[in-house]
């Protein structure tokens, strides 16, 4: 039994070494794929900061706004600050509604779903110029609640909060303590919602071409699942549990029987 367990515990390095083939692939510099910008989605929380050289025109934003995807929720917080150039700024947090809009005070509904934060800022700027007639608005949009869930054979399954828009699947897995010894590095599955549809991507971290995967850069609300190997599946099965318990009972009975025979022989 010990010999069998030892043989089962031996794992080929091809199954655990990351980025195999990189030595030959990266003899010359490779162009980095820049596809990490996140697209805004319903239920995302965003921070909208408006800057203007005419502070009186920003007073329309100095009011409580309702947050939430269904007409209710908590009240957004705001702040008003001045810069050295004399311009004023006002920032609010909003939740994108189910139909993909953000509702701004005195501006109304602005469709931002499917846009990057940069593009959403441009759309809001144009809306402010049109409605409030501010000639020089500066708008910055930031995503606040971006996160990725990680399940399966990792050392610390958890929900990872993203601190920027440029996060890779490796960044997320490293925050979970890396893949556990029982995890299959060749079978990383990432589930993503795109335009109302759920898509699945598979990645093999033992291959150097993982950097070219469309799922290499994560998006908000992604779900990453690391598949366990067969030995872990067997250990988690009811058969293995009963087999282990049965082996323990048989071993105990054998020990007791041996002691009884020894005592009788000594007599």
Q: Would you say domain 146-235 falls under CATH 3.40.50.720? A: no
- pLDDT digits over 46-100, tens only? 999 888 877 666 666 654 443 333 333 333 433 334 343 444 456 678 999 999 9
Do 39 and 143 form a contact (C-beta atoms < 8 A)?
no
Do 208 and 20 form a contact (C-beta atoms < 8 A)?
yes
Distance of alpha carbon 101 from alpha carbon 95, whole angstroms: 9
Distance of alpha carbon 135 from alpha carbon 80, whole angstroms: 19
Q: Tens-of-pLDDT digits for all 267 residues of the chain? A: 555 554 555 556 677 889 898 888 787 787 777 678 899 999 999 999 888 877 666 666 654 443 333 333 333 433 334 343 444 456 678 999 999 999 988 788 999 999 999 999 999 999 988 888 788 888 999 999 899 999 999 999 999 999 888 999 999 999 999 999 999 999 999 999 988 899 999 999 999 989 999 999 999 999 999 999 976 444 444 554 555 666 677 777 777 777 777 777 776
Which residues have C-beta within 8 Å of that of residue 29, sequence separation ≥ 6? none
pLDDT at 69: 35
Residues of the chain with CATH 3.10.560.10: 146-235
pLDDT at 137: 85
Using a cut of 0.85, tell me whether the model's pTM lies above it.
Answer: no
pLDDT at 68: 36
Q: Would you say domain 45-143 falls under CATH 3.30.1950? A: yes
pLDDT at 3: 53
Residues of the chain with CATH 3.30.1950: 45-143
pLDDT at 123: 96
- Strand ranges for 54-146 from DSSP E: 78-82, 88-95, 101-104, 108-111, 138-143
């Amino acid at each position: 039994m010990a010999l069998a367990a030892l043989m089962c515990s031996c794992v080929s390095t091809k199954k655990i070494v990351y980025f195999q083939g990189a030595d030959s692939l990266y003899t010359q510099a490779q162009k980095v794929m820049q596809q990490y910008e996140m697209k805004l989605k319903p239920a995302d929380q965003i921070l909208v900061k408006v800057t203007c050289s005419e502070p009186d025109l920003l007073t329309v934003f100095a009011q409580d706004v309702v947050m939430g995807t269904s007409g209710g929720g908590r009240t957004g917080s705001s702040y008003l600050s001045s810069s050295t150039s004399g311009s004023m700024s006002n920032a609010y947090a909003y939740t994108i509604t189910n139909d993909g809009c953000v509702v701004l005070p005195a501006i109304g509904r602005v469709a931002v779903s499917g846009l990057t934060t940069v593009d959403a800022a441009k759309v809001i700027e144009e809306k402010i110029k049109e409605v409030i007639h501010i000639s020089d608005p500066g708008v910055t949009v930031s995503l606040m609640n971006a996160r990725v869930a990680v399940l399966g054979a990792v050392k610390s399954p958890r929900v990872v909060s993203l601190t920027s828009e440029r996060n890779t699947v490796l960044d997320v897995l490293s925050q979970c303590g890396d893949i556990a010894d029982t995890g299959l590095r060749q079978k990383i599955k990432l589930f993503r919602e795109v335009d109302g549809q759920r898509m699945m991507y598979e990645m093999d971290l033992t291959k150097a071409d993982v950097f070219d995967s469309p799922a290499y850069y994560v998006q908000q609300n992604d779900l990453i699942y690391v598949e366990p190997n067969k030995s872990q599946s067997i250990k988690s099965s009811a058969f293995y549990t009963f087999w282990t318990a049965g082996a323990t009972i048989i071993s105990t009975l054998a020990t007791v029987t041996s002691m009884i025979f020894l005592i009788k022989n000594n007599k």
